[in-house]
Copies of this chain bind each other. A is one copy, B any other.
């Protein structure tokens, strides 16, 4: 599958869009981009990383690829290229240039329900069978897709894209330039119960969720509302799918949270924290700014700034690696100890 929309662009123009430098004929014109494995004659492609460049050069020639977006430090190629220090910026520019425009023929679709007490900006879109409840506010240029639900007194900023099936529940706030992917739930009740005489008595969850600007949240994510106050996801943070963010969690700015992570109640997370897939953070701990938690790491204590941790309990990754390496030697170690015991016994 190539990405194209009928438009063409010269390498010179595309390089200008992304701040790149053309090596080779800058007048070459391309009208589609495809990934390296499947690009066809005349197409633009993207090359990064540590690959076998002699094979790739051969295949670029054989397949008559028109041009390549790549990084400054990739060796010479037999076709024209746009070079950037960060080649992904070139890829992004090309994808944005070649993306198909989605034409939407409605503003508020007739099958949508928008409460009379809700406020929807005149250029916002509310899709088929979506719901915007009492007192909700939808900002300029935002798009509430079909079957999405915006609860009572929820606020959506401007130019935010709420995908099908998303639930933004009562009183929650989503900033501007956010993207929330399908079937994610913002503002479900926190998990809080008092134990009394063998009963679990619900602690009312009356706070909300605040999602700051430029946040992207994956599909099937849940962010629980705070008991009082707000669960917060900071500016520019991006999450993958199937993440659980419990009540009263505060996540800082520009964090990256990968799929199937769980963050328990009251945890606080600094800025620029990276949490890899399937990791977990127990309740009420603090993760310092700039830290990285590797895949499956379970954090059970406060973590200082710029920590690089893994394992359960999470510890400095070098220590975890030493333990994992040692573990593979353990069955043999048991034999060696038995052997030593025998030798010592014999000596007596």
Contacts and interface: CB of A to CB of B under 8 A. Distances in A.
Interface size class of A (residues with CB under 8 A): 35 or more
B256 A200 contact: yes
A34 B229 contact: yes
A259 B244 contact: yes
What number of copies of this chain does the assembly contain? 3
Interface string A319-340: 1001111111111011011001
Nearest to A97: B204
Give the secondary structure class of A's interface.
loop
Contact of A95 (B147, B149, B203, B246): B203
Interface string A133-156: 110000000000111010110000
A31 to B, nearest CB: 15
Given A196-B89, A199-B236, A262 B277 contact: yes
A188 B222 contact: no
A24 to B, nearest CB: 22
A241 B200 contact: no
Interface stretch (A57-65, A74-82, A162-170): A162-170
Contacts of A218: 188-189, 191, 222
19 contacts: A34-B228, A88-B201, A89-B194, A91-B194, A96-B204, A129-B130, A131-B146, A131-B147, A149-B165, A179-B202, A181-B188, A182-B185, A183-B184, A191-B238, A191-B241, A198-B272, A200-B238, A260-B260, A336-B341
